[in-house]
């Protein structure tokens, strides 16, 4: 082919693939098979690689990801990305309508209702119809440039159907429920912590510095607002949504226009009743004044528009049958009762298990096997039983009592005074062994990459390990014979295990899983004693004198190291060259005496990274805001902690300002 023919072929493939993608990702009506789509995509990639002079930013090949950023640049929003005022009842919604009508001097207002997508708000900018930049909401005034990650979202058009001179739109990036379930299954298999909900997963995905990872997460978007436009006159919201759809955007489905708040409220109720049937998460409904002229009159506050309200739904509840109660033994021996349910759909997924917390909770709610129960899923992975529908009882229901012996190993169960938890006392209990090792290899502990729960189960089943110290005896020949291991992955795991030997005393202490000793307490102990021998020799009285280490924690530490098995485990770690010494990571004392609270999603840092930076420079990180808090570091979608900080007059800073503090600027 001549160069001109190649160029024409490339253009033809781009046009065809763009149309296929629009049909699949926006209209949800694919017209070709995945095989045919993939074949054309491979052909286009090959032609573009061989003819780079024809590369274009609007090519479908730009969506595959792979670009790695060093960080995200700041973007100053020319139009503030405001949040919405929340209402929680019919009365509050009608009060909102009364304020609107009073300000406008009218008897009735036309409203548009939309589903409130539970995701991450972003801005998309287009010049002459081409996608040029995408950014997060940030604090509403300044966000982060995440263009490369947004390009991986197939439903975002890289080229509009009209070459409009300039357009900025606002949308909500979300993770479809099926993508969320698949992602958590993959993370569980590899021993990584699970995302709590699709919204957290979407936010984490958009902040991946490697856009290829973002592409693998299968995110989606609904566009719901025109922020700024040049070259087009729009008079109302309904018109703008229709126009956005014509341009190729995926708008929130089911938008409705109503004359008056009563009809709008009925639609809000209908949306709430049907949210369990959706394939994506919503947490409410948005009610907006339709007329842009009326919006102009109403204006905004410093944070929210006066022409819109977000009606927030309560946590979704469903009725189902409690078929049985099963027990799960955790890494510290705590035996947790879980309800086996008649499968029911709630918050977009089918649920067949729910936590019952402990025997006291079961007795106080009088939960019985065979009961009709109400379950609730409020952002958590595992739903909980809220109450029993006692009027549905027929007399065949059976009371549940905790057994005297462990359901896994048969050893005696105990319940200590003042505790709700019932425990298995056998430290060799197989269930405890598995969960103990999963905890030991986790990221906050020894951070052994590639050692997930399923692999640990294989190692235990094959008798290759019996506890966490045995991991350091593993050889390449042990790993390569396990399922799904090739030469490279086996060697990577061996290297990861070897690297973890130098994590230090604080990470090792946390990894041991001593009751009541979290990562913060482990670091305090490591800093105080310096090595594990000194800690093992510490008395209960000495430990109790340490700030933040109370009597119960002191008792737990002493009891743990009093056991022969614990001392033997420590000696084996030493023999296997696992560091039992603490090496200070304090870079400076510049934040000494200062207490920080982290809230919201930070632009470039994970919360754990920000916490580590603060602590390594002498500061303290707390989980709650109080008068003793010096700084609140607020990221995107900061919630009640930010509100409390403002109410108490506590200094609120951004991630950038935190970095400046660390650099003594």
Same domain, 59 and 101: no
Alpha carbon distance 219, 152 (integer Å) = 8
462 assigned to some structural domain: yes
158 assigned to some structural domain: yes
pLDDT at 69: 53
71 assigned to some structural domain: no
Same domain, 348 and 450: no
Looking at the structure of the chain, the number of domains it has is 6
Residue 498 has pLDDT above 80, yes or no: yes
Same domain, 172 and 296: yes
625: domain range?
Answer: 595-662
The CA dihedral of 576, 579, 580, 583, to the nearest 10 degrees, is 170
Report the range of poorest mean pLDDT among 52-56, 228-232, 246-250, 541-545: 52-56
Select from 312, 337, 365 the last residue of a domain: 312
Same domain, 488 and 623: no
Same domain, 101 and 13: no
Where does the pLDDT of residue 586 fall: very low under 50, low under 70, confident under 90, or very high at 90 and above? low
The tokens describing 565, both together, are 């098995």
The tokens describing 347, both together, are 């918050």
Where does the pLDDT of residue 585 fall: very low under 50, low under 70, confident under 90, or very high at 90 and above? low
Same domain, 337 and 460: no
Same domain, 496 and 384: no
SS3 category, 170: strand
CB atoms within 10 A of CB 125: 19
Which of 116, 151, 250, 288 is the catalytic position? 116
How far out from the chain centre does Cα 336 lie? Answer: 24
* Contact between residue 100 and residue 298 where contact means Cβ atoms under 8 Å apart: yes
* Contact between residue 231 and residue 129 where contact means Cβ atoms under 8 Å apart: no
Burial of 435 (0-12, 13-18, 19+ CB in 10 A): buried
What CATH number does residue 377 fall under? 2.40.50.140
Location of structure tokens 């300044």 = 142
Q: Where in 406-510 does DSSP place strands (E)?
A: 413-414, 422-424
* Contact between residue 114 and residue 286 where contact means Cβ atoms under 8 Å apart: yes
Mean pLDDT of 493-498: 94
| 231 φψ region: left (φ > 0), alpha (ψ -120 to 50), beta (else) | left
pLDDT at 131: 96
The tokens describing 364, both together, are 């106080």
Mean pLDDT of 350-376: 91
Nearest to 135 by CA among 119, 126, 148, 124: 124
Where does the pLDDT of residue 648 fall: very low under 50, low under 70, confident under 90, or very high at 90 and above? confident
Select from 359, 385, 414 the last residue of a domain: 414
Same domain, 99 and 170: yes
C-alpha distances (whole Å) from 606 to each of 209, 282, 628, 635 are 12, 25, 24, 11
Alpha carbon distance 217, 139 (integer Å) = 25
Same domain, 566 and 601: no
pLDDT at 610: 84
For the stretch 299-352, pLDDT in tens is 998 778 999 999 988 877 889 999 999 998 887 788 999 999 999 877 656 788
pLDDT at 190: 64
What CATH number does residue 636 fall under? 3.40.50.10190
76 assigned to some structural domain: no
The CA dihedral of 485, 490, 492, 493, to the nearest 10 degrees, is 100
What CATH number does residue 7 fall under? 1.10.287.610
First to last CA, the chain: 61
What CATH number does residue 131 fall under? 3.30.470.30
The tokens describing 381, both together, are 């992975």
Same domain, 268 and 308: yes
Select from 312, 345, 369 the last residue of a domain: 312
* Contact between residue 87 and residue 604 where contact means Cβ atoms under 8 Å apart: no
81 assigned to some structural domain: no
554 assigned to some structural domain: yes
Alpha carbon distance 520, 366 (integer Å) = 37
Strand partners of residue 328: 336
The rounded percent of the chain whose pLDDT value lies above 90 is 46
What CATH number does residue 452 fall under? 1.10.150.20
Q: Give percent helix, percent strand, percent coil of the chain, each to the nearest 5.
A: 40, 25, 35
Mean pLDDT of the chain: 88
Nearest to 198 by CA among 143, 82, 119: 119
Nearest to 194 by CA among 205, 178, 183, 206: 183
Alpha carbon distance 519, 612 (integer Å) = 11
For the stretch 205-216, pLDDT in tens is 887 877 888 888
Which residues have a Cβ under 8 Å from the Cβ of 209 and sit 6 or more positions away?
A: 68, 69, 70, 71
For the stretch 382-411, pLDDT in tens is 688 999 999 999 999 999 999 999 998 998
550 assigned to some structural domain: yes
How far out from the chain centre does Cα 353 lie? Answer: 21
Same domain, 361 and 305: no
pLDDT at 71: 67
DSSP string computed for 137-166:
-TTSSEEEB-HHHHHT-TTS-SB-SS--SE
pLDDT at 183: 87
Same domain, 615 and 643: yes
79 assigned to some structural domain: no
pLDDT at 349: 65
Which residues have a Cβ under 8 Å from the Cβ of 383 and sit 6 or more positions away?
A: 346, 351, 353, 354, 355, 375, 376, 377
Going across the sheet that includes 86-87, the strands are: 86-87, 308-312, 282-289, 110-117, 256-259
Residue 128 has pLDDT above 90, yes or no: yes
DSSP string computed for 29-59:
---S-HHHHHHHHHHHHHHHHH-GGG--TTS
* Active-site residue flag, 565: no
pTM: 0.58
């Amino acid at each position: 082919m001549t160069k001109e023919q190649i160029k024409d072929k490339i253009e033809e493939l781009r046009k065809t693939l763009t149309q296929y993608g629009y049909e699949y990702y926006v209209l949800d009506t694919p017209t070709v098979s995945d095989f045919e789509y993939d074949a054309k995509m491979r052909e286009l990639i090959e032609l573009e690689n061989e003819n780079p002079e024809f590369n274009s930013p609007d090519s479908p090949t730009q969506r595959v990801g792979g670009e790695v950023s060093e960080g995200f640049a700041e973007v100053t929003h020319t139009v503030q990305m405001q949040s919405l005022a929340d209402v929680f009842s019919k009365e509050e919604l009608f009060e909102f309508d009364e304020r609107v009508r009073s300000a406008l001097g009218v008897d009735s207002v036309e409203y548009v209702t939309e589903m409130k997508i539970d995701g991450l708000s972003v801005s998309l900018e287009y010049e002459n119809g081409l996608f040029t930049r995408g950014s997060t909401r940030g604090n509403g005034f300044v966000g982060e440039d995440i263009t490369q990650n947004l390009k991986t979202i197939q439903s975002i058009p890289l080229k509009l159907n009209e070459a409009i001179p300039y357009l900025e739109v606002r949308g909500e990036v979300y993770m479809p429920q099926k993508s969320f379930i698949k992602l958590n299954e993959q993370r569980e298999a590899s021993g990584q912590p699970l995302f709590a909900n699709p919204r957290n997963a979407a936010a984490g995905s958009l902040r991946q510095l490697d856009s290829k990872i973002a592409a693998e997460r299968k995110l989606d978007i609904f566009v719901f607002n025109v922020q700024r436009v040049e070259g087009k006159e729009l008079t109302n919201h309904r018109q703008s949504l229709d126009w956005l759809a014509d341009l190729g955007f995926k708008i929130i489905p089911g938008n409705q226009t109503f004359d008056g708040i009563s009809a709008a409220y009925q639609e809000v109720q209908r949306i709430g009743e049907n949210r369990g049937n959706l394939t994506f998460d919503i947490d409410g409904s948005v009610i907006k004044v339709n007329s842009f002229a009326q919006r102009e009159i109403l204006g905004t506050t410093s944070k929210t528009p006066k022409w819109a309200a977000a009606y927030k739904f309560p946590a979704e509840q469903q009725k189902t049958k409690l078929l049985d109660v099963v027990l799960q033994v955790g890494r510290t021996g705590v035996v947790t009762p879980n309800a086996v349910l008649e499968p029911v759909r709630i918050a977009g997924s089918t649920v067949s298990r729910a936590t019952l917390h402990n025997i006291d909770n079961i007795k106080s709610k009088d939960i019985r096997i065979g009961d009709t129960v109400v379950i609730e899923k409020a952002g958590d992975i595992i739903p909980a039983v809220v109450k029993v529908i006692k009027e549905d009882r027929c007399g065949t229901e059976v009371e549940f009592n905790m057994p005297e012996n462990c359901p896994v190993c048969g050893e005696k169960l105990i319940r200590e005074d003042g505790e709700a938890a019932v425990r298995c006392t056998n430290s060799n209990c197989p269930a405890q062994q598995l969960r103990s090792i999963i905890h030991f290899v986790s990221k906050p502990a020894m951070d052994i990459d590639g050692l997930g729960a399923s692999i640990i189960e294989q190692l235990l089943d094959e008798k290759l390990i019996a506890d966490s110290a045995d991991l350091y005896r593993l050889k390449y020949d042990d790993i390569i014979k396990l399922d799904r291991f090739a030469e490279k992955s086996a060697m990577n795991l061996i290297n990861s295990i070897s690297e973890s030997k130098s994590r230090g005393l604080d990470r090792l202490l946390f990894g041991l899983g001593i009751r009541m000793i979290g990562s913060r307490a482990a670091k305090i102990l490591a800093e105080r004693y310096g090595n594990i021998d000194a800690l093992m020799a510490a008395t209960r009285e000495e430990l109790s004198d340490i700030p933040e280490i109370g009597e119960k924690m002191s008792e737990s530490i002493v009891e743990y190291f009093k056991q022969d098995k614990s001392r033997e485990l420590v000696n084996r770690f030493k023999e296997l060259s696992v560091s039992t010494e603490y090496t200070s990571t304090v870079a400076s004392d510049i934040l000494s005496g200062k207490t920080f609270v982290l809230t919201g999603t930070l632009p470039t840092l994970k919360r754990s990274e920000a916490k580590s930076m603060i602590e390594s420079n002498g500061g303290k990180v707390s989980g709650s805001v109080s008068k003793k808090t010096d700084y609140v570091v607020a990221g995107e979608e900061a919630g009640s902690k930010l509100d409390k900080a403002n109410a108490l007059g506590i200094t609120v800073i951004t991630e950038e300002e935190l970095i400046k503090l660390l650099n003594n600027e």
